[in-house]
Amino acid sequence: MHRFANPTRFLRIANAVLPWCVSLTAVLFVLGLGWGLFFSPPDYQQGETVRIMYVHVPAAWMGLFIYGVMAVASAVGLIWRHPLAELTAKAAAPIGAAFTFLSLVTGSLWGKPMWGTWWVWDARLTSMLILLFLYIGYIFLWDAFDDPQRAAKAAAILALVGSVNLPIIKFSVDWWNTLHQPASVVTMQGPKIDSAILWPLIVMALAFKAFFVSVLLVRIKAELAERKLRIMRLNQVARENSRLGAAQAGAES
């Protein structure tokens, strides 16, 4: 892994991969949205409302997945001091927060016709809301310290502690009696939804994954540029202070 920790090597790889990721994202979104919204059949119970699933479910998956990525990157940053691990977690947080917020909004739009209410304080919805707060807290922690190293350490600890919420979200519909439907895609017995609905859902999930990788690469590149600029400014300030100190010492002598 340390072979890819060199920023120059990472940027070379990112610049080569990014155009392909962007193109793949566009193709998958066009295919997934077209298939899901216009060609997949309505559900026998939910009717046309089921089409919200093609955005809601992948967004919820990505909210959990990205926080898992942040937790792993934070652990790598704390244990091995991997140079890009902290930046990866920092760059991923706003993307994960956006996906989690999107899943909550689309879930409310889906819940109103299905449950008769926009929101219920059941285990799945409440734990997803907690996940959004964890994302927001992580983002604000980075700005709460003047020292980037202290900010990275505090944010990493929060990411690792908050990862306890991930299995709670995943198994909440199995552990508690909730309005939210149980797992129907990844189960021990296999998918429980028809393939005509399952396949466009998988395509949309892949589209969301490709979008995440694309935006993550762009954000990491921006973080590297910002860090380089900050180091240049600090070096400039240090040289200026050294020059002023030498001039003052010469004047006193």
Residue boundaries of the structural domains of the chain: 21-221
Q: What's the DSSP call for residue 15? A: H
- pLDDT greater at residue 4 or residue 145: 145
Q: Is the pLDDT of residue 113 over 60?
A: yes
Reported for 182-188, long-range contacts at CB under 8 A and 24+ positions apart, including other chains, are 185/57
The CATH number corresponding to 21-221 among 1.20.120, 3.40.50, 1.10.287, 3.30.200 equals 1.20.120
Q: Which residues lie closer than 8 Å to 169 by C-beta, 6 or more apart?
A: 64, 124, 127, 128, 131
The number of C-alpha atoms within 13 Å of 132 and in the hemisphere containing its C-beta is: 15
d(CA 144, CA 95) in angstroms, rounded, equals 20
pLDDT given at position 244: 75
* pLDDT tens, residue by residue, 40-75: 998 877 888 889 999 999 999 999 999 999 999 999
The pTM of this model reads 0.90
CA 73 to chain centre: 12
Of the given ranges (63-67, 172-176, 204-208), which has the lowest mean pLDDT? 172-176
Nearest CA to 33 out of 205, 204, 166, 221 is that of 204
* pLDDT tens, residue by residue, 149-171: 899 999 999 999 999 999 999 98
pLDDT given at position 81: 82
* pLDDT tens, residue by residue, 76-98: 999 988 878 999 999 999 999 99
* pLDDT tens, residue by residue, 130-139: 999 999 999 9
Query: HEC profile for 16-49?
Result: HHHHHHHHHHHHHHHHHHHHHHHHCCCECCCEHH
Q: What's the DSSP call for residue 52? A: G
